[in-house]
Amino acid sequence: MEKSNKKQQKHYLRRDVLRIGGGVVLSTPFVGRAWAQTTEINMLAWYGHGEPDMVGAFEEANNVKFVPKYYAGGDNMLALIAQSPPGTYDIILSDGEFVQQLNAAGYIEALDPNDYPFEDMLHEDFTKFPGHWDGDTLYSMILRGGHLGVSYNTTAMSAEEASSYEGFWKPELKGKVGHFDWHLPNLGMMSLKNGNGAGLWDLTGDQWQAVQDTTMSLRQQVGGFFDYGGTFNGLKNGEMLAMCGIGDWITGVLERDGAPVASVIPKEGGIQFTESYCIGKGSSKADLVKSFIQYMLSPEGQVKSAQMLAYPGFCVTKAGRAMLQEVDPKEAKRSHQMDGMPNDPIALINEGRIHYRDIPQQQSLEDWNDFWSEYKNA
């Protein structure tokens, strides 16, 4: 259709020049006009992946500019791609469980496994992550992951109480439990609470009904439904004392900021979100995108991902983990990414306490979504 989505726009300012100071910038805002043209890379991702802390160095080195479009959930991502002309998005950051759907709809290009460091993965699951391969063809490259469990304010809840999803029902928390406004992680947790364990996504009609009942019984505790920003603010200012549907990816940021919050993987088990890169079908910049993915899988990129300002994720490569321990031991420690530490994310996976987030097996996403709307209205 139209080319305009891909149309080259001049890159007006280079970040490093601008960092010199606002005053100078204010007087010469468009000084960069005459500079060499910059290639734009359209990125579809969760919030934060296209921000300078993630892509800045790569932009500098390669004279490219990332133009991010942020989505709010896997189905939202699919919808955004569906309504845009093919080739609109050069790089797509997808949740692991949605890769298969992206592939099925023909939205993404195949990748060459030889381009990426599969030999260096921290866990064998990461080399053959479900849905990322179609037979021997690779479609998506895992970038990082994070674990979801009980996130709570440490002044309102003890680690003991948080060690079970039961903790959300604590009477003192009435009106202080928040939900991240997406059905998958929340209902997944309720399913875990019901003891479905590894079968948390594969629910029979009765089990699904039980999950709905459990969820509904939590409703009276709930103080609100939030997007990323709202979740953040709610936990930080004490408006919410416990959050369902999130994990260290949010509390980690707040912890760095000194807030009394933490996330634990409760005894019923936790959920892992997995974020992976795909190359958009029809992208004219596939080579650039490939080198970006390679860069993000390099130790340097893995450290950036672990330190990501918007929300952290754990490293998937050994080299990345090693480098993080070396350059930012504080963050490595905070996120337990050290061998032998309790709650080391890789160890948790090995212990079988972590379940990869998936989509419902016996129900449709729509059913879950409908129930979620009902729940919000209850």
Identity of the residue, 21 or 205, whose beta carbon is nearer to another protein in the bound complex: 21
Question: Least CB distance from residue 223 to another protein, whole Å?
Answer: 5
In the β-sheet with 242-244, what is the strand arrangement from edge to edge? 222-226, 177-180, 242-244, 150-153, 261-264
- Nearest Cα neighbor of 67 from 86, 83, 90 is 90
Identity of the residue, 223 or 345, whose beta carbon is nearer to another protein in the bound complex: 223
- Nearest Cα neighbor of 236 from 50, 273, 226, 376 is 226
Residues 6+ positions from 94 with CB-CB distance below 8 Å: 74, 77, 102, 140, 275, 276, 277, 278
Identity of the residue, 234 or 299, whose beta carbon is nearer to another protein in the bound complex: 234
Question: Least CB distance from residue 6 to another protein, whole Å?
Answer: 10
Identity of the residue, 99 or 316, whose beta carbon is nearer to another protein in the bound complex: 99
Burial category of 216 from C-beta neighbours within 10 Å (exposed 0-12, middle 13-18, buried 19 and up): middle
Question: Least CB distance from residue 287 to another protein, whole Å?
Answer: 21
Q: How far is CA 365 from the centre of its chain?
A: 19
Q: What is the rounded radius of gyration, in angstroms, for the C-alpha atoms of the chain? A: 21
Evaluate whether 319 touches 299 at the Cβ level (below 8 Å). Answer: yes
Question: Least CB distance from residue 374 to another protein, whole Å?
Answer: 4
Alpha carbons 93 and 344: distance in angstroms, whole number = 25
Residues that bind another protein (CB under 8 A): 1-2, 4-5, 11-15, 18-19, 21-22, 25-26, 29-30, 32, 42, 47-48, 51-52, 67, 69-70, 72-73, 75-76, 78-79, 81-84, 88, 101, 104-105, 175, 178, 181, 222-230, 232-234, 236-239, 257, 309-310, 365-366, 369-370, 373-374, 376-377
Question: Least CB distance from residue 162 to another protein, whole Å?
Answer: 21
Distances in whole angstroms, Cα of residue 271 to Cα of each of 160, 253, 274, 284, 314: 19, 19, 10, 36, 14
Question: Least CB distance from residue 116 to another protein, whole Å?
Answer: 27
Question: Least CB distance from residue 293 to another protein, whole Å?
Answer: 20
Identity of the residue, 55 or 189, whose beta carbon is nearer to another protein in the bound complex: 55
Alpha carbons 209 and 83: distance in angstroms, whole number = 34
Identity of the residue, 9 or 158, whose beta carbon is nearer to another protein in the bound complex: 9
Identity of the residue, 40 or 268, whose beta carbon is nearer to another protein in the bound complex: 40
- Nearest Cα neighbor of 320 from 140, 126, 120, 124 is 120
Evaluate whether 270 touches 343 at the Cβ level (below 8 Å). Answer: no
Question: Least CB distance from residue 239 to another protein, whole Å?
Answer: 5
Q: What pairs with residue 64 in β-bridges?
A: 39
Identity of the residue, 221 or 274, whose beta carbon is nearer to another protein in the bound complex: 221
